Amino acid sequence: MLRALLDWFKTGPDLPPRSADPAEIDRVYHKKRWSVFLALTLGYGFFYVVRLNFSVVKKPLLDEGIFSATEMGLIGSALLGVYAIGRFSNGFLTDRANIRRFMATALLCSALVNLVLGAMSWFVAFVLLWGLNGWFQSIGAAPSGASLRQWFCKREYGTRYGIWSSSHGLGTAITFVATSALVAAFGWRWGFWGPGLIALGAAVVLFFTLQDRPQTYGLPPIDQWKGEPLSAAAGVLPVGQQQAMVLKDFAIWRIGLAALAMYVARYGINSWGVLYLQEAKGYDLVQAGTWLGIYTVATLVGAVLSGWFSDRFFAARRNMPSLIFGVLEVVSLVALYLIPPGAIWLDAVALSVFGVALGVLLAYLGGLWAVDIAPPQAAGAAMGLIGLLSYIGASIQDTISGALIDGTKHCAAYVELYSSTPAGFPDDPWFLTPSCMAKASYSFGPAFAFWVITSLVSIALVISVWNAKPKV
């Protein structure tokens, strides 16, 4: 049975040419390319809807005493740690997989896990199930990048990849705006039930709109159809050997380490931004979700423009744009922390600049630069390696940030209660604990320092790989 299941997920065999008529091949190619591109760009965003929703429910979970910040950091790290490993292994599987079945099934399973999580509040179960969700989530990115390379030639890939990267912002915006509204109206459980139901429908749509490789439909390889010269490795070296070349390329490893450091700041804001805006800036849940929604729209804009920007102004090189937007990311992150409460529009500007910079960096460091220099049939492996390193950074961030935030916990109510209570009562934990929990406050200075330092490390790594070129 396991063998049959694995065979079902494998890419189909190459079929004989479906037609000798170039017009017929063009017609089928154009139709399927649009189907793939739209399905990937819109569909991958729904992976984020059932991944980042945990960020929205953190404040209610904290206020109700269900989980502490440290426990929520561990839950988040469970997903991100499993996600990192899954991105690596599933990236290598992607180069041999039927993308349509592989990716749609993963989103379906992620939706089901979220529906179950909405019905429980046991810490151990949350860790295990949220970690399992991380495995299904890890199947989204590498298949998307590999499928784009299968259906778009090299001169088209950068622009298409940049537009596809906007799905990060699209899914994050839906999460922060729509999920925040659901939680505010119906409680934290709908922070899992609502996204789960949405992703369930999206998985069905993906199953009918994604496609396997062009050759499995009797179409020529994309580079051949577009009249581009084939790489020396294409059609000559086996897939496994091309994947091994990725693992031996130190430039790709350094790009991955730059992504690791950049993802600390990215997931710092994604995971803790809603809580930060509520605790430090005084926003309510809906306002915080709305401002984070603006940030993610800015991320979408940066992602869409990233490929065009580097192709148009830097001859398809990703080094200088990565440096420019890396500096902008650091400046906006520092500004977001230093802006005093009540300066609403300054917060909006800082979040918008951070979002645009992050969107560009997500495209370059999150896969595009690595795929540029990887062998053509190892795009999944390149994205898998980048994904592994990126989400090691994200996982480390969640645990460290949670501990740093918890370490600043201050209970102002304790002093007030202590001074106004008859003698003997201050020593009674049953009397003190509920009030202390209700009025606890947190400082984000140490966490922001952590995010800024890692962003500076990312910039240094970008400089170290400045002249990276394809090995083949």
Tell me how far apart the alpha carbons of residues 204 and 49 are, in angstroms, rounded to a whole number.
15
Q: Is residue 437 part of a domain?
A: no
Q: Is residue 13 part of a domain?
A: no
How many other CB atoms sit within 10 Å of the CB of residue 24?
A: 11
Q: Is residue 436 part of a domain?
A: no
Structure confidence by residue, pLDDT tens digits, 143-170: 888 898 888 877 777 778 878 877 876 7
Q: What is the pLDDT along the chain (472 residues), one digit of tens a residue?
A: 677 777 888 888 888 887 777 888 889 898 999 999 999 998 999 998 998 889 888 888 888 888 887 888 888 888 877 887 888 888 888 878 899 999 999 999 999 999 999 988 889 999 999 999 999 998 988 888 889 888 887 777 777 887 887 787 678 778 878 888 899 888 889 999 999 999 999 999 999 999 998 988 988 888 788 776 665 555 567 777 888 888 888 889 999 999 999 999 998 998 888 888 888 888 887 788 788 878 878 888 888 888 778 877 887 778 899 999 999 999 999 999 999 888 888 988 999 999 999 989 988 898 788 888 887 778 778 888 888 898 788 878 878 888 888 887 766 544 444 444 444 444 444 334 444 444 566 778 899 999 999 999 999 999 998 887 766 5
Tell me how far apart the alpha carbons of residues 278 and 283 are, in angstroms, rounded to a whole number.
5
Nearest by Cα to 401 from 264, 302, 309: 264
Q: Is residue 379 part of a domain?
A: yes
Q: Is residue 156 part of a domain?
A: yes
What residues make up the domain containing 49? 27-221+234-419+447-464
Domain count along the chain: 1
CA dist 423 → 416, 417, 428 (Å): 14, 11, 11
Q: Is residue 265 part of a domain?
A: yes
Q: What is the DSSP letter of 322?
A: H
Query: Structure tokens of 298?
Result: 């800015």
pTM of this prediction? 0.71
Q: Is residue 16 part of a domain?
A: no
Is the distance from CB of 353 to CB of 328 less than 8 angstroms? yes
CATH code where residue 345 lies: 1.20.1250.20
CA dist 233 → 113, 241, 253 (Å): 40, 9, 20
Structure confidence by residue, pLDDT tens digits, 436-453: 444 566 778 899 999 999
Q: Is residue 268 part of a domain?
A: yes
